[in-house]
Amino acid sequence: MPARILNGAAIRDQIYSELAGEVASLRANGIRPGLAAVLVGDNPASKIYVSSKIAATEKLDLASFHITPSATISTGDLLAIVEDLNRRDEVDGILVQLPLPAQIDSKKILEAVDPAKDVDGFHPLNVGRLVAGRPNLVACTPLGVMEILRRSEIPIEGANVAVLGRSDIVGKPMAILLMHANATVTVCHSKTRNLPETVRRADIVVAAMGRPAMLTPDFIRPGATVIDVGINRITDPAQAESLFAHFPERLAAFRAKGSAVVGDVHPDVTTVAGALTPVPGGVGPLTIAMLMSNTVRAARLRRGSRISAAARS
- Which residues carry out catalysis? 53, 97, 120
Give which of 273, 295, 291, 272 is closest to 283, Cα–Cα: 291
> SS3 helix, strand, coil % of the chain, rounded to 5?
50, 15, 40
Helices (H) and strands (E) in the chain, counts: 11, 11
Q: Count Cα atoms within 13 angstroms, Cβ side, for 4.
A: 11
Sorted by sequence, the CB contacts under 8 Å of residue 27 that are 6+ apart come out as 61
> What string of DSSP letters covers 43-110?
-HHHHHHHHHHHHHHHHTT-EEEEE---TT--HHHHHHHHHHHHH-TT--EEEEPSSPPTTS-HHHHH
Please give the Cα distance from 27 to 123 (Å, whole number): 28
Under a CB-based contact definition with an 8 Å cutoff, are residues 177 and 142 in contact?
Answer: yes
